[in-house]
Amino acid sequence: MQLILLGLPGAGKGTQAQLLAQRLGLLHISTGDLFRAAAAEGTGLGKRAQEYMSRGELVPDEVTISMLLDRIAKPDAAEGIMLDGFPRTIPQAEALDRALEGQSRKIDGALYIQVPEDLLMARLTGRWNCPSCGAIYHELSSPPQQSGKCDKCSAALIQRADDRPETVATRLSTNRSWTEQLADFYQKQGKLRPVDGTGDPSDVTGRLLRELETVTAG
Ligand code: AP5
């Protein structure tokens, strides 16, 4: 199965992708995580991506598409993928469709996590991430048991540089129209599954799983 998680920054894509990918036996691929790993390694790709990410802008398509297509061509992606943060533009969506078609695969569903924008700023500015295992926390809605320390691997938690309020505002305005265009793209393919992303994360997971039943049934 090939699934996409769509949604504005802070909608809960990463949180839900980690849970669903594990439950469904899919490989979770986050383009944001790939860019952050490349930036941490100091590669040319990482340095270039970091310039755009720190401004809250999209990394150019030619960089993003080739990185993602290389990743999904690896053997560990053959059993199925859960894409988080890709595609973000129509050219990315079209390139993905072409690449999957070349492997006799296709996107099965695009789960669109919808959250009112007034909730997103608080979600992002209160987020803490584990740089070691990737776990995601929030200082109010899902705090770690011990402040500043990952529950799963005990690493010191960090806040993302692009979660500053001024950068979050740019990220939201950058992504607003693209997200709608992508929703329209997958709606026309009959693959869009809108899901209410408010409430407890476990409730959101339940709604996503119910939508997925319609994907597998269809
Ligand atoms: P990326 O890392 O993909 O960031 P994003 O899309 O802005 O999404 P986030 O990771 O910020 O949010 P999320 O929806 O995953 O929410 P999360 O689960 O963490 O991309 C970063 C940058 O990389 C981009 O700005 C761009 O520059 C570049 N990039 C990446 N992909 C690209 C592409 N394809 N093309 C071009 N450029 C690209 O949750 C957020 C917080 O809310 C957490 O604290 C969490 O605990 C909390 N939370 C989650 N669910 C709930 C809930 N139900 N109730 C309350 N709190 C909740």
Check residue 60 and give its pLDDT: 97
Range list of H helices, the chain: 13-24, 31-41, 44-55, 61-72, 90-102, 117-125, 165-188, 201-217
14 lines ligand 1 (CB under 6 A): yes
- Give a yes or no: residue 147 inside a domain: no
DSSP state of 156: B
- Residue 153 lies inside a defined structural domain of this protein: no
Say which CATH number the domain at 44 has.
3.40.50.300
| Distance from the alpha carbon of residue 31 to the mean position of ligand 1, in angstroms | 10
122 in any annotated domain: no
Q: Is 35 in the pocket of ligand 1 (CB under 6 A)?
A: yes
Single out the residue of 113, 117, 120 nearest to residue 192, CA to CA. Answer: 113
Number of domains in the chain: 1
Q: 91 lies in which domain range?
A: 2-116+168-217
Residue 87 lies in a domain: yes
Note if 171 is an active site residue.
Answer: yes
What residues does 112 pair with on adjacent strands? 6, 194
Whether residue 109 has its Cβ less than 6 Å from ligand 1: no
pLDDT of residue 20: 95
What per-residue string of b and e applies to 82-101 under the rule 16 or more CB within 10 Å gives b? bbbbbbbbeebbebbbeebe
How close are the terminal C-alpha atoms of the chain, in Å? 13
Task: Decide if 54 is inside a domain.
Answer: yes
Residue 46 domain flag = yes
* Active site annotation includes 152: no
Q: Is 18 in the pocket of ligand 1 (CB under 6 A)?
A: no
- Would you call 55 a catalytic residue per the annotation? no
- Cβ of 144 closer than 6 Å to ligand 1, yes or no, is no
Which residue minimizes the CA distance to atom 19 of ligand 1? Answer: 14
Task: Walk along the chain (218 residues) and give the pLDDT tens digit of each residue.
Answer: 999 999 999 999 999 999 999 999 999 999 999 999 999 999 999 999 999 999 999 999 999 999 999 999 999 999 999 999 999 999 999 999 999 999 899 999 999 999 999 999 999 999 999 999 999 999 999 999 999 999 999 999 999 999 999 999 999 999 999 999 999 999 999 999 999 999 999 999 999 999 999 888 86
Q: How far apart are CA 76 and CA 56, in angstroms?
A: 30
Residue 13 known to be catalytic: yes
* Residue 215 confidence (pLDDT): 84
pLDDT at 32: 96
Within a domain: 110: yes
The residue annotated as part of the active site, out of 36, 88, 193, 207, is 88
Please indicate, yes or no, if residue 26 is contained in any of the structural domains.
Answer: yes
Pocket test for ligand 1, best of 35, 70, 117, 150 (most atoms within 8 A of CB): 35
Report the separation in Å between the CA atom of 135 and the middle of ligand 1, taken as the mean of its atom positions. Answer: 13
Checking DSSP bridges between strand 81-84 and strand 27-30, what pairing results, if any? parallel
